[in-house]
Every structure is written in structure tokens, then in C-alpha cells.
Chains A and B, each alone.
Chain A
Amino acid sequence: MDRFRGLAVLALIIVVLPLALRNSYHYDVAIRIGMNATMVVGLNLLIGYAGQISLGHAGFFGLGAYASAILTSRYGWPPIAAMISGMAAVGVIAFVVARPILRLRGHYLAMATLGLGIIIYMVLVNESGWTGGNDGMNVKAFSIFGFSLANERAWYWVTGAVLLVAIVLARNIVDSPVGRALRAVHGSETAAQVAGIDTARYKVRVFVVSAVFASAVGSMMAHYVGFITPQVSSFFHSIELVTMVVVGGMASTYGAVLGAAILTMLPQLLSRFEGYEMIVFGLILMLTVIFLPRGLVPTIAARLRKSD
């Protein structure tokens, strides 16, 4: 029952929210929150549930975005075909690198995923014949069967629907034997192995799933914004994604959504601190993790349970 309650609340929020959105700027922020949330729900499976850090997921996001951009503009592919091809390609890449990378633990894993992300970033910067290099490239509007997603309202509903589907998928994985195996890996990988769990297989699977989520959102973001640069796969973007997971609350799907909402809005709110954005952003990041090490949603949930 519990799992449907959260989903119903979120669906209600998505339906009611447009009443509060007064202009296209508000819609824009809401859409970005929805897209980031979708990606972070996937990343949370890897970091929050399986306990495996990735400092390179913006790389997969970038590959998805550029797959869509290049296939639609240079080869005239339909956007949906480009998006699915991007997801498939990222899935294969993630699958190939996952086994050797996920053998690593702790900081060595952080190093390897960070390196992977930076290599993808540099390929996008340097292969300017394909990607336009640092100048970036334009992306056509998304269209399917003759309908095109032209305005913010249309994108809002699509993003909301995709987010709900992503959450259902993620919750299904978490509540399945796979999810229990992942949590066992998080607790102690050796103990999980002793109990007969093929830890490598489960880690690879969730790594691939989270990479494909990132690729799909990359494609959507590319079409929605209409212009991309290699910055979408920068180290800083990878960090932002991990921060969303940690601030919202590790191993909490709705925490991931909240984390995405907060970190997407933060730069907008900080724009009034002109010139001081980095100082304030860095401070907020440190203070949140120091004082709420378990993240917002698990901390609040624990408080509520105590007061009952």
C-alpha cells in the first residue's frame, strides 16, 4: 500500500502544480526538475541502494544528448528512434565497462567512474566534426507521429508522465529480489557473496539501468532546450547529480525527487547573489551534508516516526 501512496501524492502534485505556474519561466524550472528527478531516481538505485558511487554519470547523459542531436540533425532520424538508439548504445557501453569498473571499491571506484566521465567529456569537446566542439550544436524539436512538442505545457506533461513511469520502474526493482540483493551488497558485499548472491551480476545490472535512465533524460533535455554543449557531461554536472541523491536522501526514491527539486531551484534562487553564487552554493552543500548526513527525506521520516 505504502508504495502507491507516495506515487499517488506525487501524481497529485504533478496534476495540481500547473495552477501555481504563472509563466513559461516557472514551467521551465518545473520541467528541468522533472527531468533531473527522473535521472536521479535511476542514479539513486546505484548509489543509494547498491552503495556504488559514480562520479561520471553526466557522461552517459551527454552521450544520450549527443546521440539524439547528431542522429536527428545530421541523419534525419525520427527523434524517438534516435533516443532509443542512444539508450541502447549507452546500455551496451555501460554493460561493457561495468564488470571491470564495478570490481573496484570505494575511492578506486570513484576514480574510475570520474575518469570515464571525463574521457566522454573530452571526446565530445575534441570530435568537433561531429559535435561542434565547445561551440555546441542545435537540436531539433521533439516530434512523434507528426505531433511536435513545441511549448512548455506539452513538455511539462510528458516530463511528468516519464517521471512517474521511472519511479514505478525503480520501485519495482527495489521491491524485487534484485532490490534485496542490492541492499545486501550495500551492507556488506563479502557477506552477500557468502550468502550466495552473484553480486557482480546485480551491480552490473543496476549500473546499466541507471546509465540508460541518464541517456534517456539526456535525449529529452537536448530536444527540450534545443541546444547542447559538451558541458552537459562535465565533471561538475556529474557532481550535481550525486549531490541530488545525497541531499534528498540515499536509498529514498522520493528523496531523490526532492533532492533534484532543491538543487535545480537553488541556482535560480542564488542568481540574486550575483558573483557570490559559488560561495553560497559550496556552503549550502557542505552544511547540508554535515548536519543532515542521511539526507532530507530519511531524516524527516525518522523525526515523524519518533513523534508518533
Chain B
Amino acid sequence: MLSQTLQYFFSGLTNGAIYALSALGFSLIYNASGVINFAQGEFIMLGGVCAVMLTAAGVPLPLAILIAVLVVSLVGLMLEKLAIEPAGDADVVSLIIITIGASIFLQGVAQVVFGPGQRALAPFTGDAPIMIFGASLLPQSMWMMGTGALIVLILAWFFGRTRLGKAMLATAHNRLAARLVGINTRHVLALSFVISAALGAVAGVVSAPITLTSYDVGIMVGLKGFVAATLGGLGSGLGAVVGGLILGLTEALAAGYISSAYKDAVPFVLIILILFFMPRGLFGARASERV
């Protein structure tokens, strides 16, 4: 009984780490631009796909990971420069359609380059499970959780201690005021896409050995990341991490104890119920509309 619950707990935290990274990507871009980037899941897909192709071509894993992250960051930068910036201040629906267009485009490119099938990346450090109180934990799961935790710490340092990070926070609070004190908000916007893309790529690479990867894995992970970001309150960094972990755990426990067929529906039921009672998520700011 205990071992089984622990097992669900492990799998929940493993997936939760990926949802949290995806949610952080959503929140970063949302803060800098007010855009919900539906292509966030494609960053995750591209990270995994690039790493698989590079290692298959004989590139050593660490170098392959580095290249994958750089390539995807560049894709993020291009997305912002070529699609989001030219749109100016289009309304919410238009921006959503643009990022969905980008998402379909990136899937199309991946389908042509990578082919239609599913492939896995080799686990970083073997696949002999570690037994803890009768529950098994894959080394790759530990990589996923560890990487997630490390990135959260790096981001906390970046936003709390560096000038650039503080400039990004200032822009999120009030773009005009940020400009007045000399912050280049256009650079901040571009940087938010680059960081989000890099986060996605890392998430994609560390999860590729467990979840497998193909050109169409991005949609679900992306949508669940959006759920996690909304759950915590859009734009809240802490909310994104907590939201991601809650989502992963709820999903794993529901799959184990209620119904595995409806596993993928769990996040969406959860978010609708929460929004019914807390229309701005768990940590979302109360805002009043200016007329």
C-alpha cells in the first residue's frame, strides 16, 4: 500500500517537474508580453527531437544537449522577432492564433526532418531502478526532478539578484514605467522568449528517455503547462512551480486510484473546478479593470 502510493508520488513528481518547467515558460512570456504562447510545448518537443537526432548522428550526449538548447533558443528568438513583434498590439485572440500557427509550423518542420515515428533518447545514467520502500525510481526520473529543481534555483537567483532579471520583473509590472527608467523593454521581450525556449528545450531533453519523443508530443505537454501556469495564477513564478507539481501529483494519483483511461482529462477537470472558485488561480493577483 505504502509502496504503491510512493510509486505514484514518484511518477507524479517526475511529470510535475516537466509541467513546472513548461508552466514557467508560459509565465515568463506572459509577464513580458501578455501573450500566451501556445508554441511552448513545441519548444519541449524540439529539444527532445534535436537531442535524439544529434546523438543518433554520433554527437556525445553533453554536446548534443548543449546544441539542442541553443537551437531551440534561437527558434524562440525568431518566433518573437518574426511573428510576435510584427503583430504589434493585436488582441488576445489574434495573438493566440499566431502562436498556434507557429506551433503547427514547427510540428510540420519536425515531421519533415524527424519523420513520423516515435524515438527515445538513451537514459543519461543507465536504467537500473533504485528501490525506495518498495517503490522503484528510475535514475532518469531523478535527472528530471534534479534538473527541474536546479533551474528553479537558477531562475530565483536570476530574478532576485541580477540587474537583468530585475529589469524583466520591472517590465512585467509596468512596461511604460520600466521604459522611463531606461530599461529596453524590447530586449526584455526577446529575452523572455529565449529563456522560455531554453527552459522548454531542457525539459524536452531530460524527459525524452522516459516519455519518448515524436513531432506531436508537444501539444499535450504544452497544454498541461498552460493548465499548471493558470492553476498557480498566470505570471506567478512560484505559482507555476507549485501548479506544475500539484498537477503532476494529482494526475498520477488519479491515474492510479480512479481511472488510467481518463488520466489526461484530470488536469482539465482540475483547472475548471479551480477556476470556478478562484477565477485567477491560486496565486494570481486580484486586478481591477480600468475603463
Q: Do A and B come from one complex?
A: yes
Spell out A's residues near B (CB within 8 Å): 47, 53, 55, 100-101, 103-108, 110-112, 114-116, 118-119, 122-123, 126, 188-191, 194, 235, 239, 242-243, 246, 250, 275-286, 289-290, 293
Q: Are B227 and A47 in contact (CB under 8 A)?
A: no
Give the contact stretch, choosing among B100-108, B126-134, B151-159, B163-171. Answer: B100-108
> Which of B103, B104, B262 is A122 in contact with, Cβ under 8 Å?
B262
B28 to chain A, nearest CB (A): 14
> Which of B90, B223, B262, B276 is A235 in contact with, Cβ under 8 Å?
B223
Query: For the complex, what is the distance from the CA of A118 to the CA of B226, rounded to whole Å?
Result: 13
B262 / chain A contacts, CB cutoff of 8 Å:
122, 126
Query: For the complex, what is the distance from the CA of A110 to the CA of B230, rounded to whole Å?
Result: 10
Q: Are B105 and A279 in contact (CB under 8 A)?
A: yes
Q: Are A289 and B271 in contact (CB under 8 A)?
A: no
Q: A188-B289, A246-B93, A279-B109 are in contact. Are A108 and B102 (CB under 8 A)?
A: no
Q: List 24 A-B contacts (CB under 8 A).
A: A104-B275, A107-B234, A108-B234, A108-B280, A108-B281, A110-B92, A111-B275, A118-B223, A118-B265, A191-B291, A239-B100, A275-B111, A278-B111, A281-B104, A281-B105, A282-B105, A282-B107, A286-B98, A289-B87, A289-B90, A290-B87, A290-B98, A293-B87, A293-B91
> Which of B83, B92, B264 is A53 in contact with, Cβ under 8 Å?
B92
Q: Are B279 and A110 in contact (CB under 8 A)?
A: no
Interface range on chain B (Cβ under 8 Å from partner): 35 or more
Considering the complex, give the chain A residue whose CB is closest to the CB of B90. A293
Q: Is B57 located at the chain interface by the 8 A CB criterion?
A: no
> Which of B88, B103, B271, B291 is A111 in contact with, Cβ under 8 Å?
B271
Q: Are B93 and A286 in contact (CB under 8 A)?
A: no
Interface of B is mostly: helix
Q: Are A47 and B265 in contact (CB under 8 A)?
A: no
A194 / chain B contacts, CB cutoff of 8 Å:
291
B149 to chain A, nearest CB (A): 26
Residue-wise, chain B 200-238 has the 8 Å CB interface mask toward A (1 for contact) of: 000000000000000000010001001100100010000
Q: Of residues 38 to 85 in B, which have CB atoms within 8 Å of A's CB atoms? A: 83
Query: For the complex, what is the distance from the CA of A246 to the CA of B265, rounded to whole Å?
Result: 28
B230 / chain A contacts, CB cutoff of 8 Å:
107-108, 111
Q: Is B255 located at the chain interface by the 8 A CB criterion?
A: no
B87 / chain A contacts, CB cutoff of 8 Å:
289-290, 293
B103 / chain A contacts, CB cutoff of 8 Å:
282
> Which of B109, B111, B261, B279 is A108 in contact with, Cβ under 8 Å?
B279
Q: Is B122 located at the chain interface by the 8 A CB criterion?
A: no
B268 to chain A, nearest CB (A): 4
Q: Is B184 located at the chain interface by the 8 A CB criterion?
A: no
A235 / chain B contacts, CB cutoff of 8 Å:
219, 223
Q: A282-B101, A285-B101 are in contact. Are A112 and B275 (CB under 8 A)?
A: yes
B291 / chain A contacts, CB cutoff of 8 Å:
188, 190-191, 194
Query: For the complex, what is the distance from the CA of A283 to the CA of B226, rounded to whole Å?
Result: 23
Q: Are A126 and B261 in contact (CB under 8 A)?
A: yes
B93 / chain A contacts, CB cutoff of 8 Å:
47, 53, 242, 246, 250
Residue-wise, chain B 265-277 has the 8 Å CB interface mask toward A (1 for contact) of: 1011101100110
Query: For the complex, what is the distance from the CA of A123 to the CA of B93, rounded to whole Å?
Result: 27
B105 / chain A contacts, CB cutoff of 8 Å:
278-279, 281-283, 285-286
Considering the complex, give the chain B residue whose CB is closest to the CB of A53. B93
A11 to chain B, nearest CB (A): 30
B192 to chain A, nearest CB (A): 16
Q: Are A289 and B112 in contact (CB under 8 A)?
A: no
- Shortest Cβ-Cβ A-B pairs, 6 listed: A282-B105, A278-B108, A285-B101, A115-B268, A279-B108, A282-B104
Q: Is B3 located at the chain interface by the 8 A CB criterion?
A: no
Query: For the complex, what is the distance from the CA of A276 to the CA of B111, rounded to whole Å?
Result: 9
B106 / chain A contacts, CB cutoff of 8 Å:
282
A190 / chain B contacts, CB cutoff of 8 Å:
289, 291
A118 / chain B contacts, CB cutoff of 8 Å:
223, 264-265, 268
Residue-wise, chain B 113-148 has the 8 Å CB interface mask toward A (1 for contact) of: 000000000000000000000000000000000000
A55 / chain B contacts, CB cutoff of 8 Å:
96
Q: Is B36 located at the chain interface by the 8 A CB criterion?
A: yes
Q: Is B97 located at the chain interface by the 8 A CB criterion?
A: yes
B111 / chain A contacts, CB cutoff of 8 Å:
275, 278
Query: For the complex, what is the distance from the CA of A280 to the CA of B90, rounded to whole Å?
Result: 22
**Sample of 18 further A-B pairs with CB below 8 A, known A110-B36, A116-B272:** A103-B279, A106-B92, A107-B36, A108-B230, A118-B268, A119-B268, A122-B264, A122-B265, A191-B291, A242-B96, A275-B112, A276-B112, A277-B108, A278-B108, A285-B100, A289-B97, A293-B87, A293-B90
Q: Are A285 and B279 in contact (CB under 8 A)?
A: no
Considering the complex, give the chain A residue whose CB is closest to the CB of B290. A190
Q: A119-B265, A290-B83 are in contact. Are A282 and B92 (CB under 8 A)?
A: no
Q: Is B86 located at the chain interface by the 8 A CB criterion?
A: yes
A98 to chain B, nearest CB (A): 12
